[in-house]
Amino acid sequence: MKKYLFILTALLLCAGLPAVGTSQDAKFEYRLTLDDVLALAQDQSLDAVRTRNTFLASYWQYRAYKANYLPSLSLTATLPDFTKQIRGIQDIDSVQGAVVRYLPDFSSRLAGGLSLRQNLPTGGNVSLSSELVRYDRFQGNFANPVSGEFYASPIYINFAQSFFGVNGFKWDKKIEPLRFEEAKRLYLQQMERVSLNAIQFFFDYAGAIQNLAIAEFNYANNDTLYKIAKGRFNIGTIGENDLLQSELNYMDASSALNEAQIGKEAAQNRLRSFLGFNELTSVEIIIPAGVPHVALNVGKVLALAKKQNPDLLAYQRQLLESDKQIAEARSAAGFQADLNVTFGLNQTSSASLQDAYNDPNDMETVNIRLSVPLLDWGRGRGRIKMARSTRDVVKNQMEQAYADFEQDVELKVRQFNMQDAQFAIAAKSDTIAQKRYDVSKRRFLIDKITITEMNNAQIDRDRSQQNYINALRNYWNIYYTIRQLSLYDYILDKPLETDFDFLVK
């Protein structure tokens, strides 16, 4: 939390906003603009932290994929392997020839090896290894050694390759970079979602502030009007019905004031919690006085959205993964061949470890394994058809998603282009409603209109002030929704971006 307070204090100093605190109770008070709230939300909110951690998981998954193309060095050891059992041991009999005799086996084995392995773009692998084994036999128990020898393979090379199978490295080379690019765009999109949440909490608080201001004004005003109504009733210029109506308005205003006070406190708590502050922090906001004049072009927004949106990229990845599943199903149902070749040196010695490395012998092995499915009762064919059906479903979903996406973007752009005018209307209506209320109040004070007409003017005034806040909310909500769809800042006229290298440090 100290880190967050330090960052926030620096931000407020740069923005010229006051931060007030006392050394005794460590209370802080901040006055934040909408831009301040958006910056804090992306820096320290729980949603932002969760988004960063999700991206880091995708980053390390991509790093693991890249590591598959790099050589790996491994050390293996068996320390030790003791055996005490009766097992079949092949022996040569002078009469029967080669026979298997079941004899007690008391032995131990110590082994160690070092291997350097490199995966190949063909899907196979090649490795360079060295191995040393110590094998000892015992008679009756492990306290009675009989014989022992060393087995050394100073160096040997192994090559393994599968033919007619699926080359996983080839498919990963297509899919994994696409998945990582999707993760980067998804991170930017989710950070825009954080901004949308911040806008929601900001204007919830702004609306609560506005409601409290309205409630305080109406309470004071109805208190005055009720006192005037009692005086007029006493002199007989209004009836009891008008007096009761005025008293009821006063009681309603008192109740509304209490609710508005609680509503403002609750909205402040929600915003404060979202930004990661504790209960010792008091957050006040500065409501925007206007909106920037931005006109969006449907064609430009749609082109950017198709290029940048991670959801559309996800469908491309899923289509590739479906193609890979078809290839795997075809491979499993068809002819397969695996080649394994080893060449190296080896030697044994019962005398000493050094002798096991003297004058080593050649070691060559070649193994070709074939697999031909002869009868599987249509299982392989069924898997191919299932994989193809899955791909068709993904393709249809992608086509439908593209169509829905285009319509959604076009609708959002049209809505946004109306918001400038909607805000101007709301601002003008607020001014007119306030003037009408002032005129109605003056006329009521000189007994030219009834209490009902006065109430109607007050209701219109309250509604127009709330509509002003809602117009601001709608403008920024739709604007950031379009930013989220296209990952583009239309006010600054540049793509959304972040320093991913810094993010993963």
Residues 443 and 484 in one domain: yes
Q: What is the DSSP string of 155-169?
A: EEEEEEEEESS--HH
User: Is 325 a domain residue?
Assistant: no
For 182-209, how does the pLDDT look when each residue is reduced to its tens digit (9 = 90+)?
999 999 999 999 999 999 999 999 999 9
Instruction: Give the confidence band of 90 by pLDDT, cuts at 50, 70, 90.
Output: low
Assess if residue 354 is contained within a domain: yes
Examine residue 247 and state whether it is found in any structural domain, yes or no: yes
Q: Are residues 304 and 430 in the same domain?
A: yes
385 lies in some domain: no
Residues 207 and 278 in one domain: yes
Return the bridge partners of 346, or none.
361
Please, are residues 186 and 59 in contact by the beta-carbon 8 Å criterion? Answer: no
Residue 252's CATH number: 1.20.1600.10
Is 10 in the same domain as 145? no
Residue 209 domain flag: yes
Last residue of a domain, one of 372, 388, 416: 372
Question: Are both 149 and 56 inside the same structural domain?
Answer: no
The whole-number pLDDT of residue 344 equals: 92
Helix axes 34-44, 2-15, angle to 10 degrees: 150
Of the three residues 372, 389, 419, the one that is the final residue of a domain is: 372
Please tell me whether residues 466 and 340 are part of one structural domain: no
pLDDT score for 275: 92
Of the residues 321, 356, 372, which one is the last residue of a structural domain?
372
Tell me which of 194-208, 241-255, 465-479 is least confident. 241-255
* 8 A C-beta contact, residue 175 and residue 321: yes
Does the structure show a pLDDT above 50 at 327? yes
Q: Please indicate, yes or no, whether residues 201 and 308 belong to a single structural domain of this protein.
A: yes
Q: What's the whole-number mean pLDDT along residues 52-77? A: 93
In a domain, 329, yes or no: no
Q: What is the pTM of this model?
A: 0.80
Q: With respect to residue 148, please indicate whether it lies within any of the assigned structural domains.
A: yes
The total domain count for the chain is 2
The answer to whether position 458 is within a domain reads: yes
Domain shared by 291 and 437, yes or no: yes
Cα separation, 230 vs 241, in Å, equals 11
DSSP three-state, residue 6 = helix
pLDDT reading at 13 higher than 60: no
When pLDDT is averaged across residues 390-401 and rounded to a whole number, the result is 88
Percent of the chain that is helix, strand, coil (3-state, to 5): 60, 25, 20
Burial of 257 (0-12, 13-18, 19+ CB in 10 A): buried
Do both 406 and 295 map to the same domain? Answer: yes
Whether 136 and 7 share a structural domain: no
Residue 8's domain comprises: 2-63+173-312+399-503
- Within a 10 A sphere around the Cβ of 208, how many other Cβ atoms? 22
DSSP states of 64-78: HHHHTTS-EEEEEEE
Q: Are residues 414 and 432 in the same domain?
A: yes
CA distances from residue 315 to 62, 302, 312, 398 in whole angstroms, order as listed? 19, 17, 5, 6
* Spatial separation of the C-alpha atoms in residues 228 and 441, rounded to whole Å: 12
Q: Which residues does 405 contact at the CB level (< 8 Å), separation at least 6? A: 305, 306, 309, 311, 312
Q: What is the pLDDT of residues 137-151, one digit of tens each?
A: 887 666 777 888 999
160 with 219, same domain? Answer: no
Question: pLDDT by residue (tens digit) across 340-380?
Answer: 999 998 888 887 888 888 888 888 899 988 888 887 787 88
pLDDT of residue 12: 40
